[in-house]
Structure 1
Amino acid sequence: MTMSCSSIHPEDGCTLCFQLSLLAKLMNDSYNEQLRLSERHLRFDVSALKNVIASLSGRVPSDIVTFSKLSEGRFNRVFQIYFKDGQCVFARLPYPSTTPEHYTLASEVATLDYLRLHGIPTPKLYAWCSTKANPVGSEYIIMEKLSGIPLGDVWYSMTPKEHHKMMKKIVHREAQLMSLNFPAHGSIYHCKDLTSEKKIPLPGQKDVEFCIGPSSHYSWWHDGRNTLDIDRGPWLSPTDIFRAVGERELCWTKTYAKPRLPYERLYREVYNFCKVSPDTHIRSLSDYMKLVPFLGFSARTALHRPVMRHPDFQPNNILVSKSNEIVGFIDWQHSSILPLGLCSWNTETLPELRRQYVRLCKRGWFISLYAAFTRRLNEDHYDAIYDNSAILHQRHFTSIGTSWEGVSTTLRADIIRAMQSCRDLIATDSVPPTRGITPLPPVQYSDKVVQDTLDLDSRQREADIAMEQMRHALGVDVLGRVPNGEYEAAKELAEEMKARMLEATKTAHDITEVRHHFPFDDFDEDA
């Protein structure tokens, strides 16, 4: 692979600033805080980074008067640098735990360049390096500072009429993005940044320097997956993607999985607080591979078409001007090109979009407004939102791509549901009907296995609801994070919650279970 470093000198008079991907609040972790901090611990040469930044505008490091940490996100740390004349530079460095090295940053760089070339407003790049093998000792990226402010900062002050106009602009830009034509699925790169990897050039005359290469999404690389000899793309058909995901998880589970307690601690009671063997999961993955030829979308439908959507489409990644014009979209890390049928919003994911905006909007008509403009401006996406085949495929894609964490029931339950809805699931050209009869996938379970699996899955769903209620009460997100300013209060409330649970227990065994498996205590994640 190519380890790329690039430095582009701006024209004289340009203001050199980096626009971080909409810095969220600093977050603490409600459990295993020290482990998360160790994963984010980054050693690098500050002087070398100052040299890089200063040289971009013909300055010297002594022109820098302050260098301070501005914020931390899920994958990156951002530093803020001021010069004597008041100009500011932001530098973003990924954590050592951010994967994959080279591909993540190289793909984001190419994605930003490609989208800007096609009229999608994104920050310009001034300097970047996709490998730690440089004087700084870390990957880094420096971009221009866009002049807008986060939509989330002004949404409250907007009138309903302004909300209406803003949503129309957002959907128009999303439709513009999803109208771009790609020859395959994967991630965008500059051709020069991929040497030995499989790549498919983009066909347009002005796109000759770009190609589709391996997926840069972390799901293909984390937790040892970077060591596996697997197909990470690019892929020509949705069926190829489903096959590759299944092979990835089957290879990883056989290589690394071991008996363990479920990672989700509220699931542990479902399994009698015993370690679960990965053998059942391996069998379910093998069953899934038998379904692969039946998965995908007909090439005659829009659901088959490769499209790109923003990887984190939420208000704080949309920058707007004082006159409510969209200035740009930021935070394109881990962007992927997938078939429309896999990356569209649907009736299951739209509630998640609503939750992202609920603090801003407080109005139930948000989703209706989004859907109305999507129907008018992006008809294929609107149709995909309510397409039952797309919904089933997305559910299955998520299930098969989820790491085994001590639970084997979810995947098997989804396979059973797929069998029950096979007529909606079978939509490929590769398995045509015979004499008008839709072929049945070659997977069968006994009535007892079906019932036992669905019963266990139902108990897990009840635990999911309870966990969501607890997170909501504590103000903790699904990753266990809480804003710094709310951290101490959340910890106190969690302790009170645990105390009440202990008071409600009736046996010594129950007390032990609460003490050792409370979901907001530190715990051994590999146990």
Structure 2
Amino acid sequence: MMAAQVRRQLTTTAPPSPYKRTAAAHDETLFQFTRGRFLTDEANELAKRHIRFNVDELARLAVQAAEAASKGPRPYIAIERLADGMHSKAIRFTMDNGFQAVGKVPTPNAGLPRLTTASEVATMDFIGHTLPSLSVLGTPVPKVLSWYSSADNPVAAEYILMENARGVPLSSLWDKLGVRVKFKVLEKVAAYQQRWSQVRFTQYGSLYYRGDLDRSSSSPGLQYTDKDGNYAVDERFAVGPSVSRQNVDDGRAD
């Protein structure tokens, strides 16, 4: 199914399943940056990291994804605000059966509107397992459940809803691990990086689904040389404008 079709299917406005409302869902600090302070121009820096969105609608989408996975009614029992990122907000929804989904909402300083979210989802698909039969690099990434690269939707903001990554942060265990285990972890990370570096593209820019580019009708399919040295064309994707931080920060987006 094409990406646009999947997006429409998962953002339907069907009546929501019953779920428990929590004070956290309506706390104004949820939309504010509370991770730290800024020594200069703080008001402007905080404004760039402030984003309002419909938490209830994001919760409804999480419930809908959980119901699709379990094929039955699914209330959620907890909403947890995760630590602020420098360019996004994240909320974790936990269902009564343990299913967890994370909603990620980019803040105004995240990069080019629409393009940054669209490229992130396409890139996760390309390197990960969101479509296992078509995966290129086999890097473990969270499964994308629903997403929208425009604020013109019931959440009232761009968002990516994904399954919660299993496990615990490496930082919470690193000091307790032995040298051999640490070496195995670094070997695994290096192996992923090696795979990434073995893929060669014929164009410069960022990855997108072809249907998410305005010039999609004329955009050629993604052309690349895979990790085994084989030339390949993938019509699902195309190269478009770069959303690299070095190309958009400090006024460069203009």
- Same fold, judged at TM 0.5 (above): yes
Take 2:156 and 2:37, find their aligned partners in 1: how far apart are those partners?
A: 27
TM alignment of 1:434-453, pairs within 5 A: none
Quick one: distance in 1 between partners of 2:177 and 2:78?
A: 36
Residue 22 (structure 1) aligns with: none
Shift of 1:207: 2.2
Q: In structure 2, what is the Cα distance between the partners aligned to 1:81 and 1:107?
A: 24
Matched, 1:218 2:245: yes
Residue of structure 2 equivalent to 1:428: none
Structure 1, residues 229-285: CA drift from partner, whole Å, max 9, x if none?
Answer: xxxxxxxxxxxxxxxxxxxxxxxxxxxxxxxxxxxxxxxxxxxxxxxxxxxxxxxxx
| Whole-angstrom distance in 2 between the partners of 1:70 and 1:166 | 25
Structure 2 counterpart of 1:36? 45
Q: Conserved in 1, the CA contact under 8 Å of 2:67 and 2:73?
A: no
For 1:6, give the aligned amino acid.
R
Deviation per residue, 1:155-178 (Å, 9 max, x gap): 212222223333222222211111
* 2:187 match: 168
Which protein has the larger Cα radius of gyration, Structure 1 or Structure 2? 1
Amino acid aligned to 1:47: D
Q: Residue deviations 1:4-38, cap 9 Å, x none?
A: 682677xxxxxxxxxxxxxxxx7302424443222
Q: 1:180 aligns with which of 199, 203, 206?
A: 199
Higher strand share: 2
- Name the CA distance, whole Å, in 2 between partners of 1:218 and 1:165: 31
Task: Assess, with a 3 A threshold, how the Cα gap between structure 1 residues 67 and 154 changes in structure 2: closer, same or farther.
Answer: closer
Segments of structure 2 that go 5 or more residues without pairing to the other structure are: 11-33, 129-134, 224-230
In the alignment of these two chains, the number of paired residues is: 209
- Alignment partner, residue 126 of structure 1: 145
Task: Spell out the pairing of 1:474-485 with structure 2 (5 A cutoff).
Answer: none
Matched, 1:201 2:221: yes
Query: How is 1:77-476 mapped onto 2 (pairs within 5 angstroms)?
Result: 77-116=89-128, 117-118=135-136, 119-196=138-215, 199-203=219-223, 207-222=234-249, 224-227=251-254
1:78-137, CA deviations, whole angstroms, 9 ceiling, x for partnerless residues? Answer: 112233344332211111232211111111111111112122222221111011011111
Tell me if structure 1 keeps the 8 A contact 2:222–2:235. yes
Identical aligned residues as a percent = 27
Query: For the residues of structure 1 that align with 2:149 and 2:159, how far apart are their CA atoms?
Result: 7
How far apart are the structure 2 equivalents of 1:90 and 1:37? 23
Q: State the superposition RMSD in angstroms.
A: 2.9
Change in CA separation of 1:61 and 1:140 when aligned onto 2, cut-off 3 Å = farther
**Superposition deviation, residue 199 in structure 1:** 4.3
Task: Give the 3-state SS of the residue equivalent to 1:58 in structure 2.
Answer: helix
Q: TM-score, normalised by structure 1?
A: 0.36
- Larger RCO (CA under 8 A, 6+ residues apart): 1
| Cα separation, 1, equivalents of 2:58 and 2:156 | 9
1:93/1:140 contact within 8 Å kept? yes
Unpaired segments of 5 or more residues in structure 1?
10-25, 228-527
| CA distance, structure 1, for counterparts of residue 182 and residue 62 of structure 2 | 39
Counterpart contact for 1:8–1:56, Cα < 8 Å: no
- 1:149 is paired with a residue whose SS is coil
Shift in Å, 1:225: 4.2
Contact 1:42–1:95 (CA<8 Å) still a contact in 2? yes
Does the residue aligned with 1:56 lie in a helix, a strand or coil? Answer: helix
Q: Give the distance between the partners of 1:35 and 1:135, measured in 2 at CA.
A: 27
1:95/1:159 CA distance change after superposition, 3 Å: same
User: Matched residue of 1:128: which SS?
Assistant: strand
Equivalent position amino acid for 2:206 in 1: S
1:47-75 residue CA offsets vs partner (Å, 9 max, x unmatched): 22222222223389992333342221110
Change in Cα spacing, 1:170 to 1:218, as seen in structure 2 (3 Å) is: closer
Partner of 1:444: none
Partner SS, residue 101 of structure 2: strand
CA distance 1:68–1:154, change in 2 (3 Å): closer
Q: Secondary structure at the match of 1:120?
A: coil
Q: 1:48 aligns with which of 41, 54, 57?
A: 57
**Partners of 1:47 and 1:86 in 2: how far apart?**
19
Q: Aligned letter for 2:120?
A: E
Pairwise CA distance, 1:210: 1.2
- Could you say what secondary structure the match of 1:29 adopts? coil
Distance in 1 (CA, whole Å) between partners of 2:96 and 2:181 is 39
Return the alpha-carbon distance in structure 1 between the equivalents of residues 148 and 154 of structure 2.
Answer: 10
List aligned pairs for 1:507-518, cutoff 5 A: none
Q: Specify which structure has the higher proportion of helix.
A: 1
Secondary structure of the corresponding residue to residue 48 of structure 2: helix
Q: TM-score, normalised by structure 2?
A: 0.71
Give the equivalent residue in structure 2 for 1:6.
Answer: 7
